[in-house]
Chains A and B, each alone.
Chain A
Amino acid sequence: MNDYVRPEDSAYSKKVNRIVVCLFTILSFLCFLPVLLVMIVSVSSKESVRDFGYSFFPHGFSLEAYRYLAASGMYLARSFFNSVLITLLATILGLVLMCPMAYSLSRKEYRLRGVLLVFILIPMLFSGGLVSSYMVNTQILHLKNTYLALIMPGLCSTWYILIMRNYFMDSIPDSLVEAAKLDGCRHFQILTRIVVPVAKPVIMTVAVFEMFLYWNSWYPSLLYLDSNHTELYPLQYVLVNMERSIETITRDAQYMSGMQTYTPPSVTIRMAMVVIVILPVMILFPFFQKFLKTGMAVGAVKG
């Protein structure tokens, strides 16, 4: 994909270009500003926050909030582990379910593929709604207070299946598959040995989207986790329950360190916890951006 216009082809004169660059510099700044504020506050001293509020220019630097969180024991570590586990399992499981489906849908010799296509398109048009999926998930599938409740809903998406199917059809020559079949390969082997290696870009794209989706997911926790199952909480849900989380962390930290009289830096802890959730996204983002843009380009062109 080429999204670059050579300067000599561009409609902008140098002067206009300068104005547009200014505009976008300001816009990027605005996009990043709120995130920056959270990061700065998380390393501000609590005296600075007390006197000057959540400021971009703190009057004192301190890692106290992070030290406090580190001292608070298992609560946060456990939820970090939960988030990583859920994200990885969901991404892998999602691909394991969707790739073979996409492959079957991409094979022209498969006579049921029209039926199958309709089968996966119907849920895109109509859904049973929150109440019935909640009742089915809790009363028939018994997912309440399990990891599966946070992984299974939303695992497959018609959209991703279609994106993969289109890629398989466009980029894998039929002759390759036919030759493999003549050599006695089964479809499963063709999928794992030929299709998956060739279609790595699109598979990575779907994987990256799924990863962000699950890292950011908190609604299922709100629906399916009770307050006495904190051991299952992912990070996002710890943030949703911020006040109670801070209580727990404070109690644990005081217990661990015996600092009974010490007032916790609760105003900065809040933001430090947010940073812990953002940081992995920010670190991985530049590496994943290529895949994200491929996926978005496919979505834009195929419609």
Chain B
Amino acid sequence: MGFKKDMIELTLLAVPAMIWFILFDYLPMFGVAFAFKQFTPRPGQPLFKNLFVNSPWVGLNNFNFLLRSSDMPKIMFNTLFYNIIFLVAGIVIPVFLAICLTEVHGKAFSGFVQMIMLLPYFLSWVIVGYCLYGFLATDEGQINHILRFFGKSAVQWYRSPGYWRAILIATGIWKGTGYSMIIYMCSITAIDRSLYESATLDGAGFSDRVKYITLPQLKTTVTTLFILNIGSILNSDFGLFYQVPMDSNSLQPVTQTLDVYVYKALMQQANFSYSAAASFLQSAVGCILLVISNIVVNRLNRDEG
């Protein structure tokens, strides 16, 4: 009797969220069919009938055309290039800073630094875009004024793709570093302090302690975040690549990533099939990589005992 009552009540409590998940996560999953269909909707008919009945299957044709289109190599390169850089920089820089900041004297100073460095993470890409615009605007921008002051000619930043790889990487690091740093600091301070004390008694210097205690202890956090990020290797921060360069056409060669392509193919060219094929690629590759890296990491951990 009690069992049944528990069952009904607890299920009822879960139902609202379940409905949300069904509508906004599970229902769109059927939409992967878009990637394998030539979408030919008939007006006035429901979406799923249009998709499954009215549109013919075309197998892998959409992927074929998508991957053979002339822009695709560049888009793929950009996506992977930025992601790999952010993956590495997102571990190395924050871990280094977290180790440095943890040992600093003075709680107030550390807290203040953490607060200021966390702030960019909680600004939207739109805001970040305008912060950058303050420096890079052609006429009023701070940098061009400095250039003119020293007698050099101004640069049309939003039309010079050459600079933007560096600018985008710097902006991405600027926004994300504080957040990751604090995450790593949380795991560092969770380490048992007596480990350090006994190491010091045994004559270990600071670098030894970092090498033999801190870094090994951080391994779990690093691998977890690594796995999560590897799952989105074909995804990119849409805002960073679309809004921060102000959707400038001349910057496209270095700013167009798969997410920007998916958005533009859908909203500007109404090219459902290609857009769907591209986003299916993102989901599928991400899912596979997530599973593989999970298995690999588990095996490595087991081997170490």
Q: Do A and B bind each other?
A: yes
Interface bits A266-298 vs B (CB < 8 Å: 1, else 0): 010011001001100110011001001100110
Interface residue stretch chosen among A198-206, A213-221, A254-262: A213-221
A187 within 8 A of B: yes
- In the complex, are the beta carbons of B115 and A286 less than 8 A apart? yes
- In the complex, are the beta carbons of A21 and B109 less than 8 A apart? yes
- In the complex, are the beta carbons of B124 and A216 less than 8 A apart? yes
Contacts of B206 in A (CB 8 A): 11
Contacts of B78 in A (CB 8 A): none
CB distance from A238 to the nearest CB of B (A): 9
A81 within 8 A of B: no
A49 within 8 A of B: yes
- In the complex, are the beta carbons of A301 and B190 less than 8 A apart? yes
Contacts of B144 in A (CB 8 A): 53
Interface residue stretch chosen among A67-75, A84-92, A116-124, A168-176: A116-124
CB distance from B166 to the nearest CB of A (A): 15
Per a CB cutoff under 8 Å, which of B17, B118, B263, B279 touches A161? B17
Interface size range of chain B in the complex: 35 or more
Known: A131-B272, A300-B186. A21 touches B193 (CB 8 A): no
Interface centre among A35, A188, A242 (most CB of B within 10 A): A35
- In the complex, are the beta carbons of B283 and A140 less than 8 A apart? no
- In the complex, are the beta carbons of B109 and A12 less than 8 A apart? no
Per a CB cutoff under 8 Å, which of A21, A53, A153, A212 touches B24? A153
Known: A101-B17, A270-B130. A10 touches B104 (CB 8 A): yes
- In the complex, are the beta carbons of A41 and B134 less than 8 A apart? yes
- In the complex, are the beta carbons of A155 and B10 less than 8 A apart? no
- In the complex, are the beta carbons of A285 and B16 less than 8 A apart? no
A77 within 8 A of B: no
Per a CB cutoff under 8 Å, which of A112, A188, A293, A300 touches B184? A300
Interface centre among B28, B116, B279 (most CB of A within 10 A): B28
- In the complex, are the beta carbons of A217 and B124 less than 8 A apart? yes
A37 to B133, alpha carbons, bound, how many Å?
10
Contacts of B30 in A (CB 8 A): 128, 132
- In the complex, are the beta carbons of A278 and B127 less than 8 A apart? yes
Contacts of A293 in B (CB 8 A): 114, 182, 186
Within B214-273, the residues touching A (CB, 8 Å) are 220-221, 224, 231, 238-239, 243, 262-263, 266-267, 272
Within B160-201, the residues touching A (CB, 8 Å) are 174, 178-179, 182-187, 189-190, 193, 196-197
Known: A35-B131, A53-B139, A140-B27. A155 touches B21 (CB 8 A): no
CB distance from B119 to the nearest CB of A (A): 6
A196 within 8 A of B: no
Within B11-54, the residues touching A (CB, 8 Å) are 11, 13-14, 16-18, 20-21, 23-32, 34-35, 46-48, 51
- In the complex, are the beta carbons of A31 and B104 less than 8 A apart? no
- In the complex, are the beta carbons of A100 and B29 less than 8 A apart? no
B303 within 8 A of A: no
Contacts of B48 in A (CB 8 A): 140
Interface centre among B9, B122, B187 (most CB of A within 10 A): B122
Interface size range of chain A in the complex: 35 or more
A236 to B123, alpha carbons, bound, how many Å?
11
B110 within 8 A of A: yes
A109 to B290, alpha carbons, bound, how many Å?
31
Per a CB cutoff under 8 Å, which of B13, B141, B266 touches A104? B13
- In the complex, are the beta carbons of A239 and B3 less than 8 A apart? no
Contacts of B51 in A (CB 8 A): 135
CB distance from B115 to the nearest CB of A (A): 6
Per a CB cutoff under 8 Å, which of B16, B20, B140, B290 touches A53? B140
B83 within 8 A of A: no
B113 within 8 A of A: yes
Known: A104-B10, A120-B21, A131-B275. A136 touches B28 (CB 8 A): yes
Contacts of A163 in B (CB 8 A): none
Known: A126-B29, A136-B28. A188 touches B142 (CB 8 A): no
Per a CB cutoff under 8 Å, which of B13, B114, B127, B291 touches A277? B127
Interface centre among B10, B23, B184 (most CB of A within 10 A): B10
- In the complex, are the beta carbons of A128 and B9 less than 8 A apart? no
Contacts of A5 in B (CB 8 A): 102-104, 189
Known: A136-B47, A300-B187. A111 touches B7 (CB 8 A): yes
Contacts of B238 in A (CB 8 A): 219
A97 to B16, alpha carbons, bound, how many Å?
6
B120 within 8 A of A: yes
CB distance from A56 to the nearest CB of B (A): 7
Within A118-150, the residues touching B (CB, 8 Å) are 119-120, 122-123, 125-137, 139-141
**Which residues of B line the A interface, CB within 8 A?**
3, 6-7, 9-11, 13-14, 16-18, 20-21, 23-32, 34-35, 46-48, 51, 97, 100-107, 109-110, 112-120, 122-128, 130-132, 134-135, 137, 139-142, 144-145, 174, 178-179, 182-187, 189-190, 193, 196-197, 206, 209, 220-221, 224, 231, 238-239, 243, 262-263, 266-267, 272, 275-276, 279-280, 282-284, 287, 290-291
Q: Can you list 24 A-B contacts with CB-CB less than 8 angstroms, sorted by A residue number?
A: A4-B107, A7-B105, A9-B197, A27-B117, A28-B113, A31-B117, A34-B134, A37-B135, A97-B20, A100-B14, A113-B10, A116-B14, A132-B29, A133-B24, A139-B47, A187-B13, A219-B238, A239-B126, A242-B130, A274-B131, A281-B119, A293-B114, A296-B182, A297-B183
Given contacts A34-B135, A41-B134, A101-B14, 8 further A-B contacts (CB under 8 A): A12-B103, A21-B104, A56-B142, A100-B17, A135-B272, A188-B13, A218-B239, A300-B187
